[in-house]
Structure 1
Amino acid sequence: MRHRRKPWSEAEMANNKALVTNPTENKGKWNEVFGNDNPIYVEIGCGKGGFLSEMSKLYPNINFIGMEKEDQIVAAALKKSRESGVGENIRFMVENVANINEIFETGEVERLYINFCDPWRQRKKWAKRRLTHRNFLNLYEVLFGEKGGEVFMKTDNQPLFDFSLNEIADKGWRLHNISLDLHNSDYEGNVMTEYEKKFSEMGQPIFRLEGYFNKLPDDLEKKDE
């Protein structure tokens, strides 16, 4: 769905330094973009940027990148982040996740966030469009490489969540911190997205999971030491 062009969007995208206009040129050099070697976390489908803006303020030693394929949504995210007073550890780009390995070098990204993505339930063949389909998981495996990485997912859609659990498990990834009702769980440190606030107010449970490729969750690594 195309979003109506906002009168302020062109100026926002032209003047906001958080926008990366040619992301493929930074492949293997994102540390230069941020001016440090801090870990890089990417949100696929960042929406209006509320989640990443809050995360960037809570974790100043992490570099956050929002990826969204609609330029008007990215403009809204840029505006949100600017008005939120974020620091230098956040960037946005207009890009499709299918190009993720043309944008980042293997091992350059440590974590992906997939928050309230399209469940693509209308037609059975559309399952391949889901961001947790094994075809996308294959892309993420290339992205993470031997170093390993993690995918954190939240959704209000239980069929999508069940599908994601099965796809991730079938790929041999480790599943961790699975929640069938996040806001009534013991999980701490949750930062809500715009959609999450809306669905929560409607009384809908929020589903959450963490998938780990080629690595252990931090709390399990500590137990093994």
Structure 2
Amino acid sequence: MRLRNKPWAMPLIQAHPEFITVRPAGLQGQWQAKFDQARPLFLEVGSGKGKFITEMAQAHPDQNFIALEIQDVAIAYILRKQVELQLPNLQLILGDGADLTDYFAPGEVDGVFLNFSDPWPKTRHEKRRLTYKTFLDQYKAIMKPDGVLQFKTDNQGFFEFSLVSMNNYGMHYELVALDLHRDPRVSDNIETEYEHKFSAKGGRIYELVAHF
């Protein structure tokens, strides 16, 4: 969902280069230098307004996190939180999830989060889905060999497509949850804004955790 334009968004982004990178191409292998210290690095592709990634950074101070968003207004909401929180293990990117190999070096990332990505429900748009094989190529390229991909959605069709896509790619599943919030195997789930609202109404959340 595209957010309504906010006149404060771009001025805020331009004022805080210490937290956000607007032109990430060419920085492969250099991301750890943007944090106060090197730690395992995790990337969320499509971070929305940032509830998930900021709470992850707070809950796991022994890890570094990057929020990547293509919408300037969405990333500005995350930046506004980060300006307030000043988390040393959180950085932001205004960029495109289709260009990850231009942003990150091979094996630079320890894990990737895909939370409630656009399901692109029409068959002719399946190549735009973030679990399509060309996107899986990119995650595999930038992640360490033991890196983990975590995917959450409320869309059953998108979940089923992703399950087949990852299986056909040869990925191995660590978790397949058909009802995440009622799954006894999961005790540390951090919600996105959308997830919180949707599940509060009784909606079902699906999750896949897999590695290459």
For Structure 1 versus Structure 2, the TM-score category normalised by the shorter chain is over 0.9
Identity percentage of aligned residues: 36
- Is 1:184 paired with 2:182? yes
Q: Which moved more, 1:11-20 or 1:52-61?
A: 11-20
Native 8 Å contact 1:49 1:81 kept in 2? no
Other structure's SS at 2:109 match? coil
SS of 1:26 mapped into structure 2: coil
Q: Counterparts of 1:54-69 in structure 2 under 5 Å?
A: 54-69=55-70
User: Is the aligned partner of 1:26 residue 2:24?
Assistant: no
The TM-score with structure 2 as length reference comes to: 0.94
Give a deviation string over 1:88-136, Cα, whole Å, max 9, x none.
1101111111110010000100100000001101x21101111001111
Bigger mean CA deviation after superposition, 85-94 or 190-199: 85-94
Structure 2 residue aligned with 1:108 = 108
Q: Give unpaired runs (5+ residues) of structure 2.
A: none
Quick one: distance in 2 between partners of 1:177 and 1:86?
A: 33
Counterpart among 148, 154, 162 of residue 152 in structure 2:
154
Once the two structures are TM-superposed, the CA of residue 179 in structure 1 deviates from its matched residue by 0.8
| Match of residue 15 from structure 2 | 15
Letter in 2 for 1:149: G
In the other structure, the counterpart of 2:46 is 45
For 2:150 and 2:3, locate their aligned partners in 1 and report how far apart those are by CA, in whole Å.
27
Q: In 2, are the aligned partners of 1:74 and 1:94 still within 8 Å (CA)?
A: yes
Report the Cα distance in structure 2 between the residues aligned to 1:71 and 1:159, rounded to whole angstroms.
29
Match runs of 1:122-161 below 5 Å: 123-144=122-143, 147-161=145-159
Query: Which structure has more strand as a fraction of its residues?
Result: 2
Matching of residue 91 in structure 1 with residue 91 in structure 2: yes
Hey, what's the Cα distance between the residues in 2 that align with 1:3 and 1:172?
Answer: 36
Partner secondary structure for residue 11 of structure 2: helix
Residue deviations 1:137-183 (CA, integer Å, cap 9, x gap): 112122226x3421101100011111111111111110122111111
SS in 2 for 1:152: strand
- Kindly state the Cα deviation for residue 4 of structure 1 after the two structures are TM-superposed: 2.6
RMSD: 1.5
- Amino acid corresponding to residue 24 of structure 2 in structure 1: P
Runs of 4+ off more than 3 Å: none
